[in-house]
């Protein structure tokens, strides 16, 4: 089971209910029991991590422009198509506490995207260590590496699934 970004919370729920050989968070929001997704940002120190990275990269990290933050390394036509297919998120789910007492008891990995301007690499490394007790593995690409570097990400996911 793979959860990307906000999908990390959902992937963990699915892995707890369906047979899953492994759980992989790709630039994922790793949930804590009882934590609301709306509170995850402050609980993890996301804003501080983004601000620190933005100082180093001239403000690219955390930009309001999705083509700068999420799709900077994705071919423009593909990025536009992806944006055109975006769906809104449920405000009810965003405000509800994460319901499990713990993450599912399956092998769990974390993947950081080395050029991610939304979830900086240092932030994902810290989150993986604190919440999962694992060392995050790196794949090249930005936040949407599945679009910009699909082969590299697929290879890493394959290795994670075998772990």
Residue 163 reports pLDDT greater than 80: no
Percentage of the chain with pLDDT > 70? 99
State phi, psi for 108 to the nearest 5 degrees.
-125, 135
Which whole number is the average pLDDT over 99-127?
A: 97
Domains, the chain, ordered by start: 2-162 (3.40.50.1820)
- Residues with Cβ within 8 Å of 10's Cβ and at least 6 positions away in sequence, in order, are 3
pLDDT class of 87 with cuts at 50, 70, 90: confident
């Amino acid at each position: 089971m793979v959860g990307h970004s906000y999908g990390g919370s959902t992937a963990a729920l699915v892995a707890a209910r369906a047979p899953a050989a492994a759980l992989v968070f790709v630039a994922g929001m790793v949930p804590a029991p009882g934590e609301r997704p709306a509170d995850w940002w402050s609980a993890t120190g996301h804003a501080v991590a983004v601000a620190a990275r933005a100082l180093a990269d001239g403000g690219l990290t955390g930009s309001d422009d999705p083509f700068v933050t999420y799709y900077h390394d994705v071919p423009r036509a593909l990025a536009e198509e992806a944006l055109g297919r975006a769906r809104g998120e449920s405000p009810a789910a965003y405000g509800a506490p994460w319901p499990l007492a713990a993450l599912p008891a399956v092998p769990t990995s974390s993947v950081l995207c080395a050029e991610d301007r939304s979830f900086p690499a240092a932030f994902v490394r810290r989150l993986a260590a604190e919440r999962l007790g694992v060392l995050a593995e790196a794949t090249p690409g930005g936040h949407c590496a599945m679009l910009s570097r699909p082969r590299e990400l697929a290879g890493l996911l394959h290795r994670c699934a075998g772990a």
